[in-house]
Each structure stands twice: as C-alpha cells, then as structure tokens.
Amino acid sequence: MKSILPSFGKDVSIDIGTSITRVMGGNRESMMSEPSIVATDTKLEKIVAVGDEADRIVRRMPDMWRSLSLLQDGFIVDYRVMHTMLHYFLNKVSNSLRRSRVLVSVPCGMTDVEQRAMMDAVIQAGAKEVFLIEAPIAAAIGCDLPIFQPRGSMVIDIGEGTTDMAILSLGGTVQSQTIRFGGGDIDKALMKYVNQCFGLLVSDQTITAIKHSIAIATPPLEEQEFSFQGRDMTNGIVRRSVIHQSEIYEVINNVLQGLLDAIKQMIRNTEPEIVADMMEYGIVLTGGAAQLQGLPERISAELGVPVQVAVNPDTKVVEGLQKAANNIVSLTRFIVNSKGRKGRA
Ligand SMILES: Nc1ncnc2c1ncn2[C@@H]1O[C@H](COP(=O)(O)OP(=O)(O)OP(=O)(O)O)[C@@H](O)[C@H]1O
Ligand SMILES: [Mg+2]
C-alpha cells in the first residue's frame, strides 16, 4: 500500500479509540483519523474494507456488509480486526515503517497477554519498535501538564466507550484507572428515552445530532429544543417531534453519576497534599465527550475543584504520544511495555 502521508517521519503514534483511530507522525499537521471499524462480507465473513471506506460501504449496503469494531469498553474484542486495522493504518501513513518506532496508547489495567498481542500486531504490521503508554498519561503529556514538577496534576479523558483518568506528580503516576463510561453511554440512554417516551425509532445520527446540539450536564438556564424525525413504533409512519433540553438534562444526569462517583473515589484515595494542588490548579478534561455542554461546570460543582477542557480535546492522547516519542528516555517510567523486531526493546 502506498503511504498517503510521506511526511510522517520516523515516529508514528496511534490512538485506537472505540469510535475513531487517530494516527500522528512528524508534526501536528500529519494527522489522520478514521472510524475504528472494518467491514466484513456478511456471507463469507471476510474483511473487505477498513476505516472510512468500511464506514461508507456499511452505511450504503448494510445487508451485504457488516461492520466490526475493534474495541468494546476499551478492550479488544477481535484480534483479527486488530491485526487488519493496525496494518492498514500504519502502512497508510508510513512508507518506511521498517524504520519506525510506533507509540500506542492503551487503557489502564490492560493484561500482559493483551499488551503482548497488541505489540506483536504492530511488529507484524512492519514496525521496528513499539512502545505502549497508558492513555491518560499520553493525554497529560498532550496537554503539557507539568508532570515532572512536585505538584499533582489530574487529567480525565472521556471518549466514546471509556474514561481514562490519571493523577501525576514528580514524573510518576500517583493513580490511574480506566472505567467503562463514555459518550456512547449517553447515546444509549437518549435512544432509550426517545423510544420509550416518544414511541419513535430514530437513527444513531439523530441521537448524535441531539447530543451535540443541545445535550447538557447542568440544569439549563434557558429552555432549548430540538426537532427530529423518527418512525412511529406502533404504525411505522414517519413523524416529527420536539425534545427539550430539560428532559435531556434529566436523562444525562442519571448516566453521569457513575463517572462522578469514580472521580470522587480517585480523589478520596489521593494524598491530601496532592489534592490541595488539584484544588489550586484544577483538573483538565480531554477526549471527545469532554465537549458535552456544561460538563466541566458539573464536575467542578460536585468536587469543588476547578475543571477546564483542553483545546482540541479529542486529539490530546495522540498528540501526547507523539510528544513522548521525542522524549522517550525521560519518559521511560511511563512506558507500560515495549518490544523491538527482534524481541524486547
Ligand atoms: N460537542 C460534543 N458534545 C458531546 N459529545 C461529543 C461532542 N463531540 C464529540 N462528542 C462525543 O465524543 C465521543 C468520541 O470521543 P473520542 O473521539 O475521544 O472517543 P474514542 O477515542 O473513539 O473512544 P475511547 O477513547 O472511549 O476508546 C463520542 O461519543 C462523541 O459523540
Ligand atoms: Mg480515546
């Protein structure tokens, strides 16, 4: 396969997300992002396309092609999909993969077996060396948090299927964890609400449109509404309806509790001196779902800690990996595992 981005350079970073895989090389301009899916022929069960192309053909002919995801709740569900995806993405961005170091973000608590499977797949795709870094550590590096200073920094990356959190200080990890919460949980709750309360079947795209336009994590000050179309569950007729922001807030409020409890628990288990730093300097949110309206305000109100959302929050993990590539020696403590073509790096 001919590389589309010859400027990717020697180091390539890959953040395999539940919804989107982001690959970065060289500088910030060399970035590619495509859906984390493969399309399979429904009869032959053979993989026929990856990423954007897979998304296109599955949308057009859902009877002939089926999409398979790589991750569920942050963990690998299909190793054949992983091999195909890594091969596709890495070879698409690099002409000289045989000389490349590849940095991959992984969830906290990935088992040794899973780590080795991931590293083997990267080496089999053709890379020279592979380094694994926990996703929230990469996010913290991507946000340029002062992780080497004697002060506590906390980052929370909220994606589609998982939330990765870490507290860092003095060049080490104080605590890190991955929980099963993400934007996909909000989608599921909204879908259930629309089905039950409106009696309408709607597409995933409609739910995403509702979420991105008026979903909110704090009680709305001014009521906004969103008009949408769906198929009546009783008679099959297409009709329009209107959903209000205050209803959506109620739905989201229930879903958010798990996330808020997990953050509280992590802070409770942290040394008071480090918590005092967080009270002063705040928590940084990254990941696509950090863009949910009112989310930083909501977390801040629950915890009494300032919270801010990073600029371009959804690319902070891959940016952090790429920054780490330039600094691999000083970041050795953050490398979860590594492997070279002829064994361990
Ligand atoms: N403006 C927005 N408001 C609310 N949610 C948003 C917004 N923009 C993106 N999202 C949500 O962010 C999520 C995707 O985030 P991201 O790309 O970080 O996930 P991912 O990396 O693929 O998944 P994960 O890290 O969980 O494996 C989706 O649920 C998407 O709907
Ligand atoms: Mg992610």
* Nearest residue by C-alpha to atom 11 in ligand 1: 289
pLDDT of residue 98: 83
Bridge partner list, 169: 172
- With a 6 Å cutoff on the Cβ, whether 296 touches ligand 1 is no
* Nearest residue by C-alpha to atom 17 in ligand 1: 288
**163-169 vs 172-179, strand pairing mode:** antiparallel
φ, ψ of residue 226 in degrees (nearest 5): -135, 125
Bridge partner list, 286: 157
- With a 6 Å cutoff on the Cβ, whether 74 touches ligand 1 is yes
Q: How far is the C-alpha of 17 from the C-alpha of 37, rounded, in Å?
A: 10
Q: 99 CA to middle of ligand 2, Å?
A: 26
Q: Which candidate, 205, 282, 211, places its Cα nearest to that of 247?
A: 211
**Atom number of ligand 1 nearest to Cα 208:** 31
Q: What is the pLDDT of residues 269-292, one digit of tens each?
A: 999 999 999 999 999 999 999 999
pLDDT of residue 8: 55
* Nearest residue by C-alpha to atom 5 in ligand 1: 289
Instruction: Note the helical H segments in the chain.
Output: 51-60, 79-93, 112-124, 135-142, 183-198, 204-214, 245-268, 272-281, 295-303, 316-325
pLDDT of residue 28: 57
pLDDT of residue 5: 44
Which of 37, 314, 318, 319 best tests ligand 1's pocket when mutated (most atoms within 8 Å of CB)? 314
Residue 3 CB neighbours (<10 A): 16
Q: Which residues of the chain have pLDDT under 70?
A: 1-9, 27-29, 343-345
pLDDT of residue 343: 55
**Atom number of ligand 1 nearest to Cα 314:** 18
* Nearest residue by C-alpha to atom 21 in ligand 1: 17
pTM score, whole prediction: 0.94
pLDDT of residue 4: 46
pLDDT of residue 255: 96
pLDDT of residue 195: 98
- With a 6 Å cutoff on the Cβ, whether 212 touches ligand 1 is yes
- With a 6 Å cutoff on the Cβ, whether 288 touches ligand 1 is yes
